[in-house]
Amino acid sequence: MDEITTPLLSVRNVAKHYGDRIGCAAVDFDLFPGEVIGIVGESGSGKSTLLNCLAGHLTPDTGEVLFDTGQGALQDTCRMSESGRRVLARTDWAFVHQHARDGLRMNVSAGGNVGERLMAIGSRHYGDIREQAIDWLGRVEIQPDRVDDRPTSFSGGMQQRLQIARNLVTGPRLVFMDEPTGGLDVSVQARLLDLLRGLVREMDLSAIIVTHDLAVVRLLADRLMVMKDGHVVETGLTDQVLDDPQHAYTQLLVSSVLQV
């Protein structure tokens, strides 16, 4: 029972300000193992600032980001050493960027991009690394004969799938996703979402997904947080929030989608 009720991530009173401007303020929530939380809001709502605070890319002004490192206690990642955070980012955590180029090494082969992540956690056998890389390329629907091609020769959708393979090959427990389908054609988005949904369920991943696209969270997220002006204005089960929004801002978001 304890294993089920212990959060993987506990966020307590996280806030980030830029002078007088609020990036995010007084954010509290728990993320449980195998759960996916979506964070939605318009541009400037604070969702990306919050995600980057949670992932260690930004240091919050106040608050705690407590992660279950598997050692019997939650550890505040905001107060970890820089080296400790780097280890976490290579092992238990992964970050999928909106623009795949930010999460890939474009001058390294597809197989090399996946293999680098394995080498970062200690893998050294070239044959095993290449075999795992080819296996993961297949899992994200990239042909094995592209293993030695550079990402510069890939389409945007293929680059994003490669970034996902690079991130998931080490079996992280928590994945941060920043607009993972942003900038892609609608048909490519749909294919990528199906792929992500399958991988999340198959690997029992916990994930935090930031997006402005309500269709993305409808498909992927168990729970939903709605942000406006740096504050969480509504939270709940995804279908419940989208089908019966309580806050006026959430109602506006949902109605604007229905009118398109």
Concatenate the DSSP letters of all residues of 29-96 into one string: EEE-TT-EEEEE-STTSSHHHHHHHHTTSS--SEEEEEEE-SSSSEEEGGGS-HHHHHHHHHTTEEEE
- Confidence (pLDDT) at 183: 81
- Confidence (pLDDT) at 121: 82
Rounded Cα–Cα distance for residues 77 and 29 (Å): 15
- Confidence (pLDDT) at 3: 47
What residue ranges of the chain have pLDDT lower than 70? 1-4, 72, 258-260
Amino acid at 176: F
Number of other CB atoms surrounding residue 207 within 10 Å = 26
Whats the size of the chain, residue-wise? 260
Tokens 């623009």 locate to 99
Rounded Cα–Cα distance for residues 160 and 155 (Å): 9
- Confidence (pLDDT) at 260: 42
- Confidence (pLDDT) at 218: 94
Rounded Cα–Cα distance for residues 48 and 214 (Å): 16
